[in-house]
Structure 1
Amino acid sequence: MTANAPTTTALGQLITFVGGDGSGKSTLATRLHQALNDAGLKAILVGKHSTDVPRDPELSSYLDRLNELVYRRDARIAQECGDYYWLLALASWYTLQDRLVIRPALAAGTHVVLDNAHHKILARYAVNPEVSTRLAAQVFAHLTQPDLVFFMNVGAREALARKGSFTSLETGHSGGSDEDFIRYQDTVLNQMRGQAVRGGWLSLDAADMDREQVFRAACAALADQLHLTV
């Protein structure tokens, strides 16, 4: 090999988090992202409202407008649009975030910590009799496959104690009581548990662990499965 031979940048790795509302996904994602950077590794945190496309303000602006349509809209309008519309709107959002933010970062050797993975959406549609589960799976099938998925296995009652409040969406629009939240969230959680088994996700029984224990377990998994020491 000559001294001037080109070097190949190692690909970054995609780390995602799945769990019910209030399970601690964002807390763990934020902490692991910081830990990766503190360890001298290049990493970005991508979340529900991440719209920055490096060095391209026009694409960033476009992605932000799409994010506003999908996530920053009036709840009444959201319900009027219907389930099929939101499935396709969400697929559009995830497609562009994957294409414009996640894939370029991975290609540049930057690790991506994805707080806002699509798997929970698949679980919600799996318990929705109005929409084909097969269709829901198809519209997300092209997204980049994660290298490691952390599944925050926390029951709905524990999650509600952590959250303290919830939206109509988080009850599946089934009602406004705590029991409506718990019933719907546990139904969705059972779908995610099935996904976890089929997908080989790393399950963290976070309800039985404090935040430090969850973090240490996640760090051990990064070292063991992805060879990332933090």
Structure 2
Amino acid sequence: MTANAPTTPEPGKVISFVGGDGAGKSTLATRLRQALNDAGHKAILVSKHSADVPRDPELSAYLDRLNELVYRRDARVAKACGDHYWLLALASWYTLQDRLVVRPAVAAGTYVVLDNAHHKILARYAVNPEVPTRLAEQVFAHLTEPDVVFFLNIGAREALARKGSYTSLETGHSGGDDEDFIRYQDTVLNQMRKQAASGAWLSLDVAEMNRDQVFKAASAALADRLHLAF
């Protein structure tokens, strides 16, 4: 008897989240990943600190060292290196995470819930006069295109009320008070809205919604877009 040939699984999907700091992306991403798993769909959550490469501890260790350089850096070092360097450093991080984590998971039929995708970085560099916008677009152009992008639309003032605190990066290094945060975040949000208008993003106006309402709206939209059952 001839053994049955192994079947290739249907490719997984990439579900991404976009929004300003404090919009609730991480909360929603975590909850949707759990809902997908509970419904019998294999799903993983990939964030800016995800450095685990399945069954390859050496690559995992290398990816973690790169993550430390990019996301766990000293503030003085970050400032000294400059915007061009950090654009390319971020591109290196996203490139390896895409190659070593996202693409293999999709090939294995896994849903990848991607928190902190590169779209927010593109929006930040679009309002940065020191770096050409085209350069920022080019260094991320090769990344896996998400199947679904959720845009959590909320004004910076409302986001700050939820978030409570912020870093210098979240003010664009423009100052240290609430108005600096609001001014910079609203400028970046306008760029995200332009991206949303030019793409097939699922936009959710979350300012007047609690977490349960946001999850209910997002899961219904995801089920409709990908023909999934929760």
Is TM-score (shorter-chain normalized) higher than 0.5? Answer: yes
Deviating above 6 A after TM superposition, structure 1's stretches of 4 or more consecutive aligned residues are: none
The structural deviation recorded for 1:6 is: 4.2
Matched residue, 2:50:
50
CA offsets per residue over residues 61-100 of structure 1, 9 Å max, x none?
0000000000001111101100000000000000000000
Aligned residues, how many? 229
Where 1:16 maps in the other structure, the secondary structure is strand
Where 2:170 maps in the other structure, the secondary structure is helix
CA distance in 2, matches of 1:94, 1:39: 29
Q: How does 1:107-146 map to 2 (within 5 A)?
A: 107-146=107-146
CA distance in 2, matches of 1:82, 1:228: 44
Matched residue, 1:95:
95
| Alpha-carbon contact 1:20-1:189 (below 8 Å) kept | yes
Where 2:34 maps in the other structure, the secondary structure is helix
RMSD (Å) for aligned C-alpha atoms: 1.1
Matched residue, 1:194:
194
CA distance in 1, matches of 2:188, 2:121: 9
1:8 matches 2:23 = no
| Alpha-carbon contact 1:219-1:229 (below 8 Å) kept | no
CA distance in 2, matches of 1:3, 1:70: 48
1:180 matches 2:180 = yes
The structural deviation recorded for 1:8 is: 2.4
Q: TM-score under structure 1 normalisation?
A: 0.98
CA distance in 1, matches of 2:3, 2:55: 31
The structural deviation recorded for 1:5 is: 4.8
Letter in 2 for 1:229: A
Where 1:10 maps in the other structure, the secondary structure is coil
Q: How does 1:23-42 map to 2 (within 5 A)?
A: 23-42=23-42
CA distance in 1, matches of 2:46, 2:142: 18
CA distance in 2, matches of 1:135, 1:143: 15
Matched residue, 2:22:
22
Which ranges of structure 1 fall in alignment gaps of 5 or more residues? Answer: none
CA distance in 2, matches of 1:126, 1:7: 44
CA distance in 2, matches of 1:201, 1:229: 21
Where 2:225 maps in the other structure, the secondary structure is helix
Identity, % of aligned pairs? 83
Letter in 2 for 1:70: V
